[in-house]
Amino acid sequence: MRTSFALLATTLLLVACTAAPTAEDPSAATSSSSEPVQGSGAEMETRNVSYEGTVKPAGISIYQQGTHRLLLPDGRFILLESSSVDLNGYVDERVMVQGSIRPTVEAGGVIMRVDNITFLEPRSEASSLSSSMESSAAASSIASSVAASSKPAVIQTQSSAADAVSSAPPAIDRETLSPEVEALAKTMAKDKTTDDQWTQQYCTGHIGFCVPVHRNWYYKSFGTTTSALWHMEMSSADIASVYAGPIQVDLYPGSVSAKKATDGQVRVQGSEAVGFREWTDNRHFEISAPANLEAAVGYITAHVSQYTEQ
């Protein structure tokens, strides 16, 4: 009887040992752990990364993610996807993409969730026409939120800097702020503006400058407009359309003296604060926002810097 019990115990022990997966057989293991897996999702993303290259359709490949790919100058590529940018409008164009990258499910690949995209060279005539049509549609969609704004929608142009209007008005008529923009500005005005709060920056290697961005804010570049050589915005919420951000950063042709201002000056004009900063090649920056963001305008104005290759 004791012998039979011992044999039974030995058999159960052997079964228990052979049922456990080993390191040499990882496919047999299962896990209930909630720890992020490398490349499995947003937990492993690296934010605020930028690449320059040419946008192409995703095509046929081993990768099952992404709708497009960015062909890099050295022949490599990264996959692209976006819920906020229509990548179809950038196919065959040289661009700079900005967003968050992560490894693909398939080994060896990288995919970017694109938050922002800007052109690096003038577009073809057909592409510019398409952009103009899209911009007209965008202008209609934001008409209710930016009432009485005299600024046109974004249109990528092939004109030179000399063709731009040096006396362009501010991006938003601050006397007619929409309730949405006014609420965003109030939220942003509560944030501290000390040096340690400006942990992000927007840079464009194409135009050659960087501006600081508050740690709590979103930013988006809209490239060249019909009145500015370069236009970008900041907000406490995601920026879905042009002129939706309370803070506007514009690069204009001409000197700040033409605006009867001095380099680095921040002045309040009615309900708007505007900062002026001289730049290279007879250009200047104007940083504008509702007057309650005067401190932020002053910080950005003082800290615009030259872009340098990393």
* For residue 211, pLDDT beyond 90: yes
**Cα–Cα distance list, 33 to 29, 30, 36, 37 (Å):** 12, 9, 8, 10
Residue 114's CB is within 10 A of a number of other CB atoms, namely 26
When pLDDT is averaged across residues 192-212 and rounded to a whole number, the result is 92
> Rounded to an integer, what distance in angstroms lies between the CA atom of residue 61 and that of residue 262?
56
Q: What is the spatial distance between Cα 23 and Cα 55, in angstroms, rounded to a whole number?
A: 42
pLDDT tier at 145 (50, 70, 90 boundaries)? Answer: very low
In three-state secondary structure terms, 19 is helix
pTM: 0.49
Instruction: Please give the CATH topology (third level) of the domain spanning 42-119.
Output: OB fold (Dihydrolipoamide Acetyltransferase, E2P) (2.40.50)
Location of each CATH 2.40.50.500 domain in the chain: 42-119
Residue 275 neighbours by CB distance under 10 Å: 25
DSSP 169: P
CA-based angle 101:56:224, to the nearest 5? 80
Please write the tens of the pLDDT for every residue from 77-119: 899 999 888 888 888 888 899 899 999 888 878 999 999 898 8
pLDDT at 123: 52
What is the rounded CA–CA span in Å between residue 224 and residue 250?
A: 9
**pLDDT for residue 281 is more than 50:** yes
Q: Which residue has the tokens 């942003």?
A: 188
Cα–Cα distance measured from residue 211 to residue 123, given in angstroms and rounded to the nearest whole number: 26
Indicate the pLDDT class of residue 264, thresholds 50, 70 and 90. Answer: very high
pLDDT at 285 over 70: yes
pLDDT of 197 higher than 80: yes
* pLDDT given for residue 261 in this prediction: 95
Residue 128 pLDDT greater than 90, yes or no: no
- What residue has token string 């929409």? 178
Per-residue pLDDT for 142 more than 50?
no
